[in-house]
Structure 1
Amino acid sequence: MSQNTLTAERESHLRSLADLLLDARRTGKTIDALPDHLVPSSMEEAYFVQDEMMAAYGDVGGYKVGAASPDAEPFFAPMPLIWMAASGSTLINPMHRLRILEGEIAFHFAKDLPARAERYTNEEIAAAISSAHVIIEVLESAYTEPGKHPRLAVSADMQFHGAFVHGPAIENWQSVDWAQESVELVVDGVIRVERTGSNPGGTDLMRLLSWVVNEGAKRTGGIRAGQWITTGSWTGNTPTTPGAEAAVRFTSSGSVKLSFAS
């Protein structure tokens, strides 16, 4: 990740984009199109917008990380603490418009991992983790039709994040063979997705955690006790509807469920 190389004029444009995205998410008046000068041209610019938005949402509850392939450089975004809930919750916020679901594995940290010059080893990272959990990430967007916008514009919008719902702690998570782990996503009693070892970023989840803890620290300042890192979708993107009830179930890792208000 590069250090900030943005000009004052460019930062001003990107702050204008952050304001537009925040307003769209708060009011539900979504964005049909962006003027060209507000479209981010790099991940550095997208991250700048994410961080401007996050400042408006308050405390950081954690980070979502993913990668296009097991060898690709990961990308990540902050998750507001106020958008987090426990399994069984009913999501009533009117911001839930798209209601797109992803089943993931997330890790909760019990110890701080402050930024430092020396890389944290996998063993040090594992020792800082209190528990692992099955979670549902709800995807939402400030854009009327996110698929019609440039990828970096969507990344800037909190990387599509809308909510985080976690299940109970996974027993003996350190012994889970993620490559053999299967998952199903169920909506209103119907299995919509069934897959095995299906995280696009790979089933070496420690690689993704290490990237946020180490390379990501240039931006985050380090991971703090009580924060989460969720490590990418195993189920793809599944849209639902008002009033829907959904669950994600992993073979040996447990399950999580949520519902949407009608």
Structure 2
Amino acid sequence: MSSLVKNKFEQTLDQNEQLKAYGDLLLEARRTKRPIPAQGFPYKVDTEEMACAVQNYVVEAWAKTAGGVRAWKVGASTPQAEPFAAPIHQGTLFSGNKINFPENFCRLYGVEAEIVYTIGKELPFKKPGQEVWSREEVLSTIVSAHPAIEICDTRFSDYNSQDPLVHRADQANHGALIYGEAYSDWQNLIPTEESVKVMFDGETAVEHKGGNSAGDPLRMLVWLANHAQERGFPFKVGDVVTTGSTMGTIFVPGGTLVRVEFGSLGVLTVQLP
């Protein structure tokens, strides 16, 4: 992280000591695996910048345990809405089309079927006077798309028990990301028309096309490339970006076999413990 960007977020924390206190609570919940009580939570997160400051604080403090930032999650509430994002530790990534999920890794299993993109080359240097990377520059770094399942979790005792920005600061409820084999013809993928089917223990729970509230995920990826640079975690070769749920979030019990079928991207299964 560059000193300029790091100082920006350190300053945000210094201006509101409650943010650091919240970050310490999140770190304690991760360390002890004891959730934060949902009732009576005393801290506020009023802006996206505050949420990002807490995310950065937790990411850097937890890196020795869970590895550095090697992925991002990004989403938006509508096709026109400003995206939001959270960095993801290496230690929460799983790759493969058939995964036996480890025990005691997540407390809750909120399942989301998503599309992941892999970064295959560094972004070019910005030209003099250029403030942001263009869509063409960002898309030129993508090498593949993948079927994916994000497992949503929370460091609170109850999911969605707090203001959305409070949960956003908690890595946007990230638990784990499982992504399958590469689909190299990603330029011809039309996410808004991609069929998706989600099954739990052989029973179909979701079957439709598209489904992502953000619409085109590539516009979010372009936004994210610039956002991640500002945050001090620029895209690196091999990084992956998951671009939001195609189905909302469905919570399932432990022991569930989750199967996701995308029309072009293929099949991904996860056996939950």
TM-score normalized with structure 2 length:
0.88
Q: Secondary structure at the match of 1:13?
A: helix
For 1:206 and 1:217, the matched residues in 2 are separated by 17
Give the equivalent residue in structure 1 for 2:5.
none
Q: Where does residue 98 of structure 2 map in the other structure? A: 88
Provide structure 2 residue ranges, at least 5 long, that are not aligned to the other structure.
1-7
Query: Residue 99 in 1 paired to residue 106 in 2?
Result: no
Structure 1 unaligned spans of 5+: none
Contact in 1 for aligned 2:144/2:182 (Cα 8 Å): yes
The corresponding residue for 1:42 is 47
Q: What amino acid is aligned across from residue 54 of structure 1 in structure 2?
A: V
| Residue 139 of structure 1, CA deviation | 0.3
Counterpart amino acid of 1:161? H
What code does the residue aligned with 2:121 have?
K
Kindly indicate whether the alpha-carbon contact (under 8 Å) linking 1:76 and 1:212 is maintained by their aligned counterparts in 2.
Answer: yes
Residue by residue, what CA displacement relative to the aligned partner does 1:96-141 show, whole Å, maximum 9, x if unpaired?
Answer: 1111110010111111227744432222222211211011000010
Q: Which is worse superposed, 165-174 or 115-124?
A: 115-124
Displacement, 1:85? 0.7
Residue 260 of structure 1 corresponds to 272
Match of 2:77 in 1: 68
Match of 1:231 among 235, 239, 243: 243
Q: Which residue is 1:6 aligned to?
A: 12
Stretch deviating more after TM superposition (124-133 or 213-222): 213-222
What residue is the counterpart of 2:169 in the other structure? 156
Q: Distance in 1 between matches of 2:13 and 2:263?
A: 49
What is the aligned-residue RMSD (CA, Å)? 2.0
- Cα distance change of structure 1 residues 100 and 228 upon mapping to structure 2, 3 Å threshold: same
Structure 1 counterpart of 2:155, from 100, 117, 142? 142
Partner of 1:251: 263
Tell me if structure 2 keeps the 8 A contact 1:185–1:248. yes
Distance apart, 1:250 and its partner CA? 1.0
1:164-175 aligned at under 5 Å gives the runs: 164-175=177-188
- What percentage of residue pairs aligned between the two structures are identical? 32
Q: Letter of the aligned partner of 1:73 in structure 2?
A: E
Offset of residue 176 of structure 1? 1.7
List per-residue Cα deviations over 1:217-238 (Å, max 9, x = no partner): 2113421111111110001101
Task: Tell me how far apart the structure 1 counterparts of residues 169 and 92 of structure 2 sit (CA, whole Å).
Answer: 18
Question: In structure 2, do the counterparts of structure 1 residues 7 and 131 end up closer, same or farther at CA, with 3 Å as the change threshold?
Answer: closer
What one-letter code is carried by the residue in structure 2 that aligns with 1:89? I
Amino acid at match of 2:255: G
Alignment coverage as a number of residue pairs: 258
In 1, Cα distance between the equivalents of 2:272 and 2:190?
32
- Contact 2:124 2:137 (C-alpha < 8 Å) held by counterparts: no
CA contact (8 A) 2:18 2:44 kept: no
Whether the 8 Å contact between 2:139 and 2:222 is mirrored in structure 1 is: no
- Work out whether 1:222 is the aligned partner of 2:234: yes
Q: Are the counterparts in 2 of residues 247 and 255 from structure 1 also a CA contact under 8 Å? A: yes
Q: Is the contact made by 2:210 and 2:246 (CA closer than 8 Å) also made in structure 1?
A: yes
Q: Distance in 2 between matches of 1:257 and 1:226?
A: 22
